[in-house]
Amino acid sequence: MLIRLLRTCVRPYRTAVALTVALQVVQTLALLMLPTLNAQLIDRGLLAGSLEGIVWLGMAMLIAAVVQLLARIGAEYFAARAATGVGHDLRSAMFRHVQRFSTHDMGRFGTSSLSTRTLNDVQQIQTVTGDGLSSIVTAPIMCVVSVVLALHQDVPLSLVVIVLIPVTTVVVAVILTRMSRLYDRIQVGMDNMNRLFREQISGVRVVRAFVRDAHEQERFDAVNTELFLLNRRVRRLAANMFPLVWLLGNGFTVVVAWIAAKRISSGALEVGALSAFLGYIVLVLTSMVIAMYVMLTVPRAAAAARRIREVLDTEPEVALSSRPVVARPRPGDLDLHGVGFRYPGAEEPFLQDIDLVARPGQTVAVIGGTGSGKTTLLNLVLRLFDATSGTVLVDGVDVRDMDPDVHSRSVGLVPQQPYLFAGTVASNLRWGNENASDADLWHALEITQAHDFVAAMPGGLRAEITQGGSNVSGGQRQRLALARTLLRRPGIYLFDDCFSGLDASTDRALRSALAPQLADATVVIVAQRVGSIENADLILVLEEGRVVGRGKHRQLLADNETYREIVRSQLNDVEEAA
């Protein structure tokens, strides 16, 4: 999984990878020359008493060291360039893919898990790419060539090195296998930590209202402690690996020194050759340490790659048409024919046989009890889900065939709980029309009865809005969201109980100012209050996912029991409040 992902992601950076590999070869070969040059310096210069040999061999070592340094710097630069590019491309690919997810797709992974995968997991891939490119050539060349050059210096001593390599490899493999299993559990623990933290921050008022601070602290401490223990186990394994390798290396060095002492005393080995041989043992160990350092990142990166591929390999339930339609034969028309919807995994359909025809200049209202399917119906028009039966037509085109940009420009939603983004009032309003002037923004605010409170904010249109719009009230968020949608000027407006946070006088003033703006548009209102939809051209009454009533207010009062019950319940609430 990791190799397949890296092969795909590294392809655009072939030039940087090729330069990295070439420079790594140069720097490794230059480094490997140093022990042999040092041996010659000892035998032909120092021990022979040759000043000329010392000078020339010393200059050769200096040149080799400078070449090794420059090549290493260049290799690190191009490796970092490729690694950061891979990270950038992966994050972009994840973001674009998640943007196409349906609500059910999002729920399958969870917001916290998608955040962790896009940020933390991609960072793991970026790290292993950089480290891998930095050592993919260095470690194997250094190890193999060091063994060959060690054999050239002295064959009997080289047998010690040949035994050292497989013993060290077995020790490292055992440790890395255990670490790989732990990293999978750590990634899941990170998801749980992220999810719990987001829950507690988002729901802090509920936590305090129900005095659940201690309970939530216990939940967080349990997840945090589990993650701490897993990380500690990984760190212990990693901490043991390097000392074990160096212990093996030092042990074999003692054996080499013991054998070399006998061979030097018998004249079979020169002092310089022993110096070179010990240098090559150090290089063999260094190559194995480099390889181990990369291998330490591989288990975590492999777990991250699996999680990233899970997201990228998930085919969004709302699939894009291979030939999207951009034409709009009947702008503003909304038609639902025999529409049904079943949530994934559900045994029974949630919506059944919904028929609706709305034309520009008409207002259609949808009313019903909690769970009757009102918001789900709007989600089908928005294509957050695809209908499991029947067809939804916007502008005379099946939404499954429409170009997404054309569809989003045709339909404008104002949700009951609108979301504002961190920025300013102006930046949030320009989500509706990025080319809108300040005068356009103020005009939209006047219509939505938001002019006065925005003007009173420090900076007016430049006033700061915090993430989620937490520094304005619920009613103010609704009015800003409505202004944002008005600036978009869609042909079809979907109002999902978006006036619920307004007081009666503001509600009346807003509807009065809004009426001329919507005169030529198609309006669909989901409402809880009957009083807000009495003048609608058509009212649909939903109950358990079915249309049980259809008509105008007076007609439904006369012949629809469900609608009468809704009206009576609201009248009773008013009387009790009085």
HEC letters along 404-431: HHHHHHHEEEECCCCCCCCEEHHHHHCC
Torsion of CA 127, 131, 133, 136, to 10 degrees: -140
Q: What is the DSSP letter of 325?
A: B
The reported pLDDT for the residue numbered 246 is 75
The per-residue pLDDT for 576 is 43
What does each C-alpha distance from 319 to 100, 119, 253, 345, 408 come to in angstroms?
8, 25, 63, 19, 15
Asked if residues 416 and 528 have their Cβ atoms less than 8 Å apart, the reply is no
- φ and ψ of 330, to 5 deg: -135, 80
What the block records as the tokens of 157 is: 């001593």
Mean pLDDT per block of 10 residues along the chain (578 residues) reads 81 90 88 78 68 78 89 90 92 88 79 83 88 79 79 74 78 77 79 76 64 77 86 83 77 77 74 73 76 76 87 82 84 92 84 92 90 88 89 92 88 87 91 91 92 91 87 88 92 86 81 88 88 87 90 90 85 49
pLDDT of residue 463: 92
CA 225, 227, 231, 233 dihedral sign is positive
* pLDDT for res 48: 62
In Å, the largest CA–CA distance within the chain is: 120
Complete domains list, the chain, with CATH: 2-312 (1.20.1560.10), 334-577 (3.40.50.300)
- Give the chain's end-to-end CA distance (angstroms, integer): 66
Per-residue tokens: 194: 């992220």
- Confidence (pLDDT) at 577: 40
pLDDT of residue 47: 62
pTM, to two decimals? 0.69
Beta bridge partners of 414: 495
Buried b (16+ CB within 10 A) or exposed e, 150-187: bbebbeebbebbeebbeebeebbeebbeebbebbbebb
